[in-house]
């Protein structure tokens, strides 16, 4: 379901796994691959990319114009490495938030989404 970029904190990856979510971690499975290759993996496996990398918006429209992967971009890092995992878990409980087919930006006090 999720593909965590290398910059995504491992404690958040572990928290999501413990909650029962399927999550591949680039740092474990494909360390050092390019962002374009991350996008290719996400498109191929229909995974949602989890990242702190602000370049994904541009990259998606450059490399995956026809079938862009869903992305959750964390602009806010929080005070501990579990921040992203906890935020994502609370988003997944909110039935009004749909992560598939969108570019989701998580900021300090807001969540913005652009649907494809």
- By CB atoms closer than 10 A (0-12, 13-18, 19+), residue 83 is middle
Domain that holds residue 110: 2-115
Give the whole-angstrom CA distance, residue 75 versus residue 12. 15
What is the C-alpha to C-alpha distance for residues 56 and 51, in angstroms, rounded to an integer?
8
Q: Tell me the CATH number at 32.
A: 3.40.50
pLDDT tens readout for residues 85-112: 999 999 999 989 999 999 999 997 899 9
User: What pLDDT, in 10s, does the model give residues 31-85?
Assistant: 999 998 999 999 999 999 999 999 998 888 776 667 889 999 999 888 899 999 9
Domain count along the chain: 1
Predicted TM-score (pTM) of this structure: 0.94
Instruction: Please state, in angstroms and as integers, the Cα–Cα distance from residue 96 to each residue in 21, 28, 77, 114, following that order.
Output: 19, 32, 23, 14
Give dist(CA 92, CA 30) in Å, integer: 26
DSSP SS3 for 113: strand
């Amino acid at each position: 379901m999720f593909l965590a970029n290398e910059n995504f904190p491992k404690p958040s990856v572990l928290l999501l796994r413990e909650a029962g979510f399927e999550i591949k971690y680039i740092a474990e499975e494909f360390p050092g691959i390019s962002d374009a290759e991350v996008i290719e993996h996400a498109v191929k496996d229909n995974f949602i990319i989890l990242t702190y990398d602000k370049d994904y918006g541009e990259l998606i429209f450059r490399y995956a114009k026809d079938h862009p992967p869903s992305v959750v971009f964390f602009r806010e890092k929080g005070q501990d490495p579990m921040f992203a995992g906890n935020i994502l878990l609370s988003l997944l409980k909110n039935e009004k938030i749909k992560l598939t087919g969108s570019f989701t930006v998580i900021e300090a006090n807001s969540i913005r989404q652009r649907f494809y």
